[in-house]
């Protein structure tokens, strides 16, 4: 494909939130303007199940984004949709997490409760800032009595404006230790959240681009769902992480920040001895990454070509130590 801008190649976008659009209450630099300028609809899809779509939309609008609750999909909604397909209408489900968990269950035609003193058909566990040890105990009791257990996601960490906090996966692990069981997980990297997002966009998967900052959730989820993905280097994972990613976590595109969506996308192309990305050439020489770039070439060209070269070395059997040495030489790795 020619070097057209990514925003011209797709008819819809699925955008992660934490680390891509904002960090806590603060917008990621350039994200708001870039997303508002996209010519196609954007669904904001997040594994963070603590808030309702209206609350998320209010946050996004407060940052300056042109959106509404109909364009927000969270992992609670995907999980509630799965349970609604398996349980009788109106079945009672124990809701563990923030307000978004109960709202998703109600929206799916199920009855949510907040303690397990009464029999429940299932437990839906999502992230919430006010989840207590007592809530986790209620979930463990219900699961031990035979309730189905669905978790919105198992992300161990959550990026915030203050640093990295424990995520829903850490809370799920506590319940698993007590209940002696493992949940079914419906959020990223599993397909339901992406499939629901494509339905909201009313687009086939091949015409939708997933944008995220985490390889093991955002990118792996898009790969699993059959959707193209772009890793943006403003959040959790950096170029070094992408270079060392296994095939099931490799993004189709790599962006420095969301402004790159509007620029002609220079793809890394193989050469006789390496890869070329626009004005930058890279080749692997033992444990050295040799870069030949013109002074005006942006660093992202070397990042894309370097990642492609390291993936090729990995696929040809290069050892882990060599791959890590090569990845450490990518721009911005130190």
pLDDT of 10 strictly over 80: yes
The per-residue pLDDT for 164 is: 85
As beta bridge partners, residue 27 has 22
What mean pLDDT comes out for the span 113-129?
A: 91
Dihedral over Cα of 325, 231, 274, 279: its sign = negative
Determine the Cα–Cα distance for residues 82 and 100; give it in Å rounded to an integer.
Answer: 16
- Sheet (strand 208-212) strand order: 72-74, 41-46, 12-15, 208-212, 228-232, 253-255
The per-residue pLDDT for 2 is: 59
DSSP string, 233-250: TTSS--HHHHHT--GGG-
Determine the Cα–Cα distance for residues 60 and 77; give it in Å rounded to an integer.
Answer: 18
CA dihedral 126, 131, 134, 138 (to 10 degrees): -20
pLDDT of 1 strictly over 80: no
The catalytic site residues sit at 16, 18
Of the candidates 129, 151, 131, 184, the residue with the CA atom closest to the CA atom of residue 47: 151
The per-residue pLDDT for 334 is: 57
Query: Quick one: tokens of 218?
Result: 């955002």
In which band, very low, low, confident or very high, does the pLDDT at 165 lie, cut at 50, 70 and 90? confident
Which positions ≥6 away from 253 have C-beta within 8 Å? 6, 209, 228, 229, 230, 231, 265
In which band, very low, low, confident or very high, does the pLDDT at 51 lie, cut at 50, 70 and 90? confident
Q: Is 107 exposed, middle or buried (0-12, 13-18, 19+ CB in 10 A)?
A: middle
pLDDT of 210 strictly over 60: yes
Span 79-116, pLDDT tens digits = 999 999 999 999 999 999 988 899 999 999 999 999 87
In which band, very low, low, confident or very high, does the pLDDT at 45 lie, cut at 50, 70 and 90? very high
- Which range has the worst mean pLDDT, 41-50, 216-225, 269-278? 41-50
The per-residue pLDDT for 239 is: 96
**Mean pLDDT over all residues of the chain?**
94
Determine the Cα–Cα distance for residues 98 and 87; give it in Å rounded to an integer.
Answer: 22
The per-residue pLDDT for 3 is: 83
The per-residue pLDDT for 161 is: 73
Neighbours of 71 (CB within 10 A): 21
């Amino acid at each position: 494909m020619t070097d057209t801008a990514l925003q011209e190649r797709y008819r819809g976008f699925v955008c992660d939130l934490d680390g891509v659009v904002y960090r806590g209450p603060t917008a990621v630099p350039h994200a708001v303007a870039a997303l508002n300028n996209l010519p196609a609809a954007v669904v904001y899809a997040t594994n963070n199940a603590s808030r309702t779509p209206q609350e998320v939309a209010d946050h996004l609008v407060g940052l300056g984004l042109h959106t509404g609750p109909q364009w927000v999909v969270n992992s609670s909604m995907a999980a509630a949709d799965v349970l609604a397909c398996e349980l009788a209408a109106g079945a009672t489900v124990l809701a563990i997490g923030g307000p978004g968990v109960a709202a998703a269950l109600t929206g799916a035609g199920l009855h949510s409760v907040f303690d397990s003193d009464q029999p429940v058909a299932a437990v839906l566990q999502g992230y919430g800032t006010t989840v207590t040890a007592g809530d986790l105990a209620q979930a463990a009791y219900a699961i031990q009595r035979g309730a189905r257990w669905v978790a919105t996601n198992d992300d161990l960490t959550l990026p915030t404006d203050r640093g990295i906090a424990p995520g829903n996966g850490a809370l799920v692990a506590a319940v698993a230790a007590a209940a002696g069981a493992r949940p079914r997980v419906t959020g990223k990297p599993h397909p339901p959240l992406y499939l629901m997002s494509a339905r909201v966009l009313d687009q086939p998967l091949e015409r939708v681009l997933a944008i995220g900052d985490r390889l093991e959730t955002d990118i792996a989820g898009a790969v699993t769902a059959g959707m193209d993905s772009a890793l943006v280097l403003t959040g959790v994972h950096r170029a070094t992480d992408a270079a060392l990613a296994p095939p099931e976590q490799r993004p189709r595109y790599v962006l420095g920040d969301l402004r790159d969506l509007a620029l002609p996308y220079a793809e890394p192309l193989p050469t006789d001895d390496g890869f070329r990305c626009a004005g930058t050439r890279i080749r692997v020489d033992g444990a050295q990454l040799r870069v030949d770039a013109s002074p005006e070439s942006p660093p992202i060209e070397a990042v894309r070509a370097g990642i492609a070269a390291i993936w090729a070395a990995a696929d040809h059997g290069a050892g882990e130590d060599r791959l890590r040495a090569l990845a450490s030489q990518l721009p911005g790795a130190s």
